[in-house]
Structure 1
């Protein structure tokens, strides 16, 4: 799993804010009004959790990174009675309380090392859902892994830091390795370098369906790229709507 120790500090600046609105709109389109208690897996710094709480959901944001959760907790105000952030592992959900909805966005499931780990997450989510609960998640498509990240390079710079992101094919089919390099300024204006490796992999839609059915999900819908349309050969992000 990625550490995010350095990434957490500048995460909000390098993320596209419009993506959070897209995830918010997609989530709300696929939920029933009675579904109010929500668990957001891999919540990061809590931007989407806050937006969901503002709409009336009772939200628990969970993330493996203590640094991310520390930043997320800074977003809580005195008015946010229905918002909570906890440090935790999505691979260990079975002992937690139950929810109407569980979400897992930003291709966070692609960080699972193998199919067994993905199955473990699905099993835990199923156990964490109330009857008739909904699980919504997204993953990178095979096209995105094989073509979209081919020779991908992204640079971002401010007065306080520089961020370099380069992606290369991974060791497995439909996998990628993201090499992140940070140059962060200290109080004296001196820049210090940090390096992180983020590894992601995805699978065919049929494999995700099989793992979800093995977890117990009965009705599974698949859409693409934030739209309510079926994926095609060049879809970049797959969305799964799963009903218990």
Structure 2
């Protein structure tokens, strides 16, 4: 899949309005814009560019070279300078220190197991200074167990059509998203099909809190709906604001 096609596919399944909501959450939690922010799993850079345009000092990190290529192109088109790092959030030992680390769009839920989640928390804690902040979100157990199973969504335009179906995963509180894309190729005058399976997993809130405590985060606040609501039994996404002593 070409970079241009990949950008079409990725943007097709993302709700652009979410980036402004994540920006609003960061503004709520980060006191000054001169603090250095590391955005984990920055993907094609949509949120990083949004943060940069709002005046934040942001660096993006992603495991995928292809994603970073698209993020760089997006930053150039937006007229902003966006430092980018190709790296794995399971090993942040060689990238320096930052005042704030973010990890949104339920990227933590792509970790394969609880040990990997704990490893990420430890890596983040190790690169943050005292009073440094870690901001992230994850799907709630309610979202995974009650909302996602059986979810279906289809969308179509002249350039791209996609089918999205979600199924219960093999382990507790997990889900599998089957995505099928049909992307129009002008040269061939036909549609090319691409298939992906995304696997996500979450844990009870108490497990996240325990893992954060073990990593050294002494102050943890959990909220719902981008920090605007209290957590209830039907909260679909948990937002965490964590700091060290």
Query: Which TM-score band applies after superposition, normalised by the shorter structure?
Result: over 0.9
CA distance in 1 between partners of 2:74 and 2:208 (Å):
34
CA distance in 1 between partners of 2:111 and 2:5 (Å):
20
Correspondence for 1:215: 215
Give the TM-score normalised by structure 2.
Answer: 0.92
Deviation string 1:161-200 (CA, Å, 9 cap, x unpaired) is: 2111100000011100001111122221222221111100
Correspondence for 1:23: 22
Correspondence for 1:57: 56
Q: Which runs of 5+ in 1 are unaligned?
A: none
Q: Is the 8 A contact 1:107 1:138 kept in 2?
A: yes
CA distance in 1 between partners of 2:114 and 2:106 (Å):
15
CA distance in 1 between partners of 2:92 and 2:7 (Å):
23
Query: How many residues of Structure 1 are paired with residues of Structure 2 in the alignment?
Result: 240
Q: Please state whether the residue corresponding to 1:80 is helix, strand or coil.
A: coil
Report deviation, 1:35: 5.5
CA distance in 2 between partners of 1:5 and 1:121 (Å):
31
Report deviation, 1:61: 0.7
Q: Is the 8 A contact 1:149 1:167 kept in 2?
A: yes
Deviation string 1:124-157 (CA, Å, 9 cap, x unpaired) is: 1111212211000000001100111021011121
Q: Please state whether the residue corresponding to 2:83 is helix, strand or coil.
A: strand
Q: Which runs of 5+ in 2 are unaligned?
A: none
CA distance in 2 between partners of 1:139 and 1:182 (Å):
25
Correspondence for 1:179: 178
Q: Is the 8 A contact 1:5 1:67 kept in 2?
A: no
CA distance in 2 between partners of 1:194 and 1:48 (Å):
25
Q: Is the 8 A contact 1:14 1:156 kept in 2?
A: no
User: In the TM superposition, what are the counterparts of 1:189-228 in structure 2 within 5 Å?
Assistant: 189-228=189-228
CA distance in 1 between partners of 2:238 and 2:147 (Å):
14
CA distance in 2 between partners of 1:154 and 1:107 (Å):
19
Q: Please state whether the residue corresponding to 2:199 is helix, strand or coil.
A: strand
For residues 7 and 232 of structure 1, do their structure 2 counterparts lie closer, same or farther at Cα, with a shift above 3 Å needed?
farther
Give the TM-score normalised by structure 1.
Answer: 0.92
Q: Is the 8 A contact 2:136 2:239 kept in 1?
A: yes
Say whether residues 1:234 and 2:231 are aligned partners: no
Correspondence for 1:84: 83
Correspondence for 2:150: 151
Divergent runs of 4+, >6 A: none
Q: Is the 8 A contact 2:89 2:120 kept in 1?
A: yes
CA distance in 2 between partners of 1:63 and 1:207 (Å):
25
Say whether residues 1:106 and 2:113 are aligned partners: no
Deviation string 1:68-99 (CA, Å, 9 cap, x unpaired) is: 21111012249534x21222211111221100
